[in-house]
Structure 1
Amino acid sequence: MATPMEWLLVGSHVSLDQLDAAKESTYVDVSSHTKSYSAYAWRLALSAVIATGGIASQSPAVVIGAMLIAPLMSPMVGTQLAIVLGNKRAVWRTILMTWLGVIGAIAISLVIAAMLPVKIDTTTNTEVLARVSPRLVDLIVALASGLMGALAEIREDIPDTITGVAIAASLVPPLCVVGISLYAQDWRSAAGSMLLFLANYCAIEFMGMLVFIALHLDKHFPQQKGLGTRKWRYIFVIACVAVVAMPLTFTSLNIAQSSIKSGQVKEVATQWVQNTNWSVQEVKVQDDVATVYIDGADTTLDDSKFLAMLNDAHISLKGAKVVIIPEFSIGPSGQYANPSPATTQQ
């Protein structure tokens, strides 16, 4: 008879056939080692190549294509299932497969980045920038993804492809950004994207394990190491989530503060260029240094007025600079002129 939690999560009693199918698809049980491992390796390698190409070309559609074939979710769910069932050998197998995949994706993306004729600029590439500043909301998304991944493996009425769409976006692309950033020697971006992956990894493992515990799947399989050993594994995973949540919270607060300051600086800059031919295009605040991008046709700027206005607004900044976006005018003679960049330091 199904428990209330089984009815809530699965809609019925979890059968041994469902459990066996989940174990087979998540590498807890491997019937054909060569076939299973070769398929995993090919999917991983090709998804990394495609994701790196999509990031290099700044094409979300190509990155999505890589998400659809990325295989990392399967061994990750397998780790959750093996821990709950007490299958120590499967625990180590799935962990090894996951982290070999992680190393492989990073290495492949690094090699592809080195082979490209044009270097990927990690400071301007939109696909890179989207994955180097992990936030607390990313952890929340990963928790929901872990729930989806566990349910997709244990329920027959939820297609496995949903797992790939919901999860791989948070796994393979950040790893490819790590490889690209390492090649570009952008250590900050590499660390940020790796933190994003680790946050997703820990959150997915934690949430999926809670689902399998709630379903009492261990009653279908003899305990091999006893509840005490598994309890420490649960504590370890919970600790991982807590540890990763702290830097994500810090990063989220920094992003929120930078966003507020960007709005304040933009308001001041807009007032500064009012009644002139200059216009404010963009304002960025990073590490308490504001960068204001403007364009226009005037030849002079009153830098001291801008600094005075910033001080009067009581915006806490370490520095500020104004970058003029070049505009070229080509005449009949072929001559051109462009305004020289101006920089203002506070």
Structure 2
Amino acid sequence: MTRALPFGPVTEDDLDRVTGKLFLTDRTGLSAFWVLLTLAAVIASTGVVADSTATVIGAMIVAPLMTPILGTALALVLADRRAMLASVALVVGGAVLVVGIGYLSGLLSPVPEVAATNSQVASRVAPKLVDLVSALATGAVGAFALVRSDVSDTLPGVAIAISLVPPLAVVGLTLESGAPDQAGGALLLFLTNVTAIIATGTVVLLAYRVRATAVSTGREVGRLRPRTVVVVVALLVAVAVPLGVGSYQTFRGQRILTAAQPVVAQWAQARSWQVVDVTWSQGVLQVVAAGPPPAADPASLRGALDGAGLTAVPARLSEVLGGTTELPVSPSP
């Protein structure tokens, strides 16, 4: 059937297809959900441990966690309390399962899986406002592809664009590695994506007049209360605040790197050393250097940074063939 309008009401067949796909009520659908989610969690956890982007993308495609999240949005639109509780329970239970598998995978890893040593972890522990914007757009595409069967072939791309299982795997891995602050960042990324999917999914389903179709076909539809919309908006605001803080920290880190890199390079050159890397991670300036004996003098680097106006910036100096030295903020005179 061809719709004259881009947001024409869904047909009864569309509604049956969407509800059948999103509301997992039969044993077959539930068993498939848990089996696929378990396998996706194993793939994601091992992919993060191996620092393999391709493996992690494979986990995104396999993971079925977006189904109950969009099911929550559909239940909100239809004001179906029972379906909403069932969908939320699947999301929460699935999240706990993935975190648990991530934690167990961390026990098998010989080294701590943290942002400083693993790029897959680093990319998921410091979410920013841009992640919320991306998740909102991706959630809208996912809901649109479900309602419109003629564009359903975009769903694998949506699965890759939205990150659900990998952040949860990172939560478990970083908890096992003793980095609860990084686990909190990864959990915030997951909650951001979930909230965005529910919010934009609700908007798209309302735009396609799913409620009107349900009523016209004799389905039982509850009353959509204004407070439901208020709660969804409040959740978006709740995740946007820490994301805004994260964005500011990223901006501040870039400014510090711009100021620190020439200072560190000059300090290393004066001692015939070579700067391997200068990064900003978790609120600390990380300097990695290599050179001939004698060992680098941390106090001289601290003094150089202070002289460049970076007195309040904590730093960490790591020698390629030596140890790591903390350079705390210099005390105020």
Runs of 5+ consecutive residues of structure 1 not aligned to the other structure: 327-338
Residue of 231, 238, 244 corresponding to 1:236? 231
Correspondence 1:72-87 to 2 at 5 A? 72-87=65-80
| One of 12, 16, 19 as aligned partner of 1:20 | 16
The corresponding residue for 1:7 is 5
**Structure of greater Rg:** 1
Matching of residue 176 in structure 1 with residue 169 in structure 2: yes
The 5 Å alignment of 1:334-345 reads none
Report the Cα distance in structure 2 between the residues aligned to 1:192 and 1:341, rounded to whole angstroms. Answer: 25
Deviation at 1:276, TM superposition (A): 5.0
Return the match for 2:44 from 37, 41, 51: 51
1:259-300 deviation per Cα after TM superposition (whole angstroms, max 9, x unaligned): 210221111111223365312121233565433211123536
- Relative contact order: is structure 1 or structure 2 higher (C-alpha 8 Å, sep ≥ 6)? 2
Structure 2 residue aligned with 1:192, among 173, 185, 198?
185
Distance in 2, matches of 1:291 and 1:13, equals 55
Q: Is the 8 A contact 1:146 1:205 kept in 2?
A: yes
Cα pair 2:9 2:213 within 8 Å, conserved = no
Question: Percent identity over the alignment?
Answer: 32
Instruction: Kindly indicate whether the alpha-carbon contact (under 8 Å) linking 2:49 and 2:109 is maintained by their aligned counterparts in 1.
Output: no
After alignment, is 245-254 or 92-101 more displaced? Answer: 92-101
Opposite residue 311 of structure 1, the aligned amino acid is D
* One of 79, 82, 89 as aligned partner of 2:82: 89
- Pair 1:322 & 2:320 matched: no
Structure 2 residue 294 is matched with structure 1 residue 299: yes
The code of the aligned residue for 1:172 comes to V
Equivalent position SS for 1:282: strand
**In the comparison of the two structures, how many residue pairs are matched?**
322
User: Residue 247 in 1 paired to residue 242 in 2?
Assistant: yes
Code of the aligned partner of 1:26: L
Equivalent residues in 2 for 1:149-298, closer than 5 Å:
149-158=142-151, 159=153, 160-167=155-162, 170-222=163-215, 224-228=221-225, 231-274=226-269, 276-286=271-281, 289-297=284-292
1:221 counterpart SS class: helix
CA distance in 2, matches of 1:184, 1:304: 30
Please list the CA deviations of residues 86-125 of structure 1 after superposition, one character each: whole Å capped at 9, or x if unmatched: 22221112111111111111122222332x1524432412
**Structure 1 residues 7 and 166: CA distance shift in structure 2, 3 A:** farther
Contact 1:152 1:163 in 2 (8 A): no
Residue of structure 2 equivalent to 1:329: none
Aligned: 1:131 with 2:124: yes
Q: Quick one: structure 1 residues 206 and 2, their matched pair in 2 at CA, closer, same or farther if it must change by over 3 Å? A: farther
Distance 1:162 1:92, change over 3 A: same
Q: Which amino acid aligns with 2:12?
A: L
**Counterpart residue type for residue 121 of structure 1:** E
Distance 2:200 2:93 in 1: 22
CA contact (8 A) 1:2 1:13 kept: no
Determine helix, strand or coil for the equivalent of 1:290.
strand
The CA deviation at 1:133 is 0.9
1:118 aligned onto 2:118: no
**Change over 3 Å in CA distance of 1:185–1:274 after alignment to 2:** closer
- Contact (CA 8 Å) 1:131, 1:177: kept in 2 or not? yes
Q: 1:301 to 1:60 in 2, by over 3 A?
A: closer
Q: Which amino acid aligns with 1:278?
A: W
Task: Give the distance between the partners of 2:295 and 2:183, measured in 1 at CA.
Answer: 40
- Residue 226 of structure 1: SS of its match in structure 2? coil
Q: Could you tell me how far apart the structure 1 residues matched to 2:327 and 2:96 are?
A: 44
Q: Which amino acid aligns with 1:27?
A: F
Report the TM-score when normalising by structure 2: 0.88
Per-residue deviation, 1:14: 2.3
Amino acid at match of 2:223: G
